[in-house]
Structure 1
Amino acid sequence: MQNRRETLRQSLAVAGLLGATGLFPQYALAFNKTAFDAKSIADALKAYGASAPVESKDVTLTAPEIAENGAVVPVAAASSLAGVKSILLLVEKNPNALSAKFDVTDAVEPNFATRVKMGQTSDVYAVAITADGKAHYAKKEVKVTLGGCGG
């Protein structure tokens, strides 16, 4: 039976090997730091290689008209477009526009729900990016009565 000290020693050895080869787990994740650090919607879409977005009835956004608490605003996005590869949720007046990104495959229905944090009343966008790089969106204004981003 392995004790705690031996387990810790082996863990440190594995971490050392990963560090030496530059293969830390955070680098293996599909995380686009540029997109999540983007201050505007256009910059976030540019980071994912999407074209200029066009409004579409094939993308739906469900969000409350008035959010009593900006720290937990429920939103849902769905798309009936063919070939959707990702769905983005963006909040225009947040310090960082991109709130969530969902990857879609053929085995996944492009229908997602989550909660986002909003600092103030703002337009919320659901953007569906297709395999050919086209971006389609739906938007809705959500009024926030109690700020969630430090407000």
Structure 2
Amino acid sequence: MRLRTKILILDRRSFLASAAAMAALMPLVGRSANGEPAKLERSKKFADAFAQVLRGVTPVEDKVTVDLPELAENGNFVPITVQVDSPMSEADHVKTIHLLSTANPHARVATFHLSPINAVARIQSRMRLAKTQDVIVLAELSTGQILMSTTLVKVTIGGCGD
């Protein structure tokens, strides 16, 4: 049995019309039926890891700058840079920076230990993300305070499986 395939060739006008239609529909992607942004699932592993890092402390969303792409074409290699605004003195410094993912098979992506000798609270790395999810950065300070930042990363090709 011989299969016949038909190749569709679009002219410039058809291509541009299709692209314009897709661009018009993009704001609707990732929205629920009532038009609100869709809530991403957070795994039980994430909830456990998050609670373990916080140890009852309420995090403050402040002083943490995260450089992470909004769209990761390949979840196997997602670059991340984190910087925490801290004097890095003996009395006031960042002790630990935790990277957590809300939907990876392992919620704790990485933990970085710092001290005043670092002079700047900044880390650069790369991470794997299984699918579209939030990346949570928690910075533990020597004062006991925990700073937090949340960044949504849309992944088009999964980086790690179950």
* Structure 1 letter corresponding to 2:140: I
Alignment of 1:87-98 (within 5 A): 87-98=97-108
Unaligned runs of 5+ in 2: 1-43, 87-91
**TM-score, normalised to structure 2's length?**
0.63
Deviates more, 1:86-95 or 1:47-56: 47-56
**Structure 1 residues 55 and 42: CA distance shift in structure 2, 3 A:** farther
Over the residues paired in the alignment, what is the CA RMSD in angstroms?
2.0
- Residue equivalent to 2:115: 105
Matches of 2:56 and 2:158 in 1, distance apart? 30
**Structure 1 residues 45 and 135: CA distance shift in structure 2, 3 A:** farther
Instruction: Give 1:52 deviation, angstroms.
Output: 2.5
Matches of 2:121 and 2:47 in 1, distance apart? 21
User: Do the aligned partners of 2:65 and 2:84 also contact (CA within 8 Å) in 1?
Assistant: yes
**TM-score, normalised to structure 1's length?**
0.67
User: Do the aligned partners of 1:41 and 1:98 also contact (CA within 8 Å) in 2?
Assistant: no
Q: Provide, for residues 65-91 of structure 1, a one-character-per-residue CA deviation record: whole Å limited to 9, x for no partner.
A: 100110111111110134211111111
Alignment of 1:1-151 (within 5 A): 39-41=45-47, 43-47=49-53, 49=55, 51-56=57-62, 58-81=63-86, 82-108=92-118, 109-150=120-161
Aligned residues: 113
Q: Percent identity?
A: 34
Matches of 1:71 and 1:147 in 2, distance apart? 7
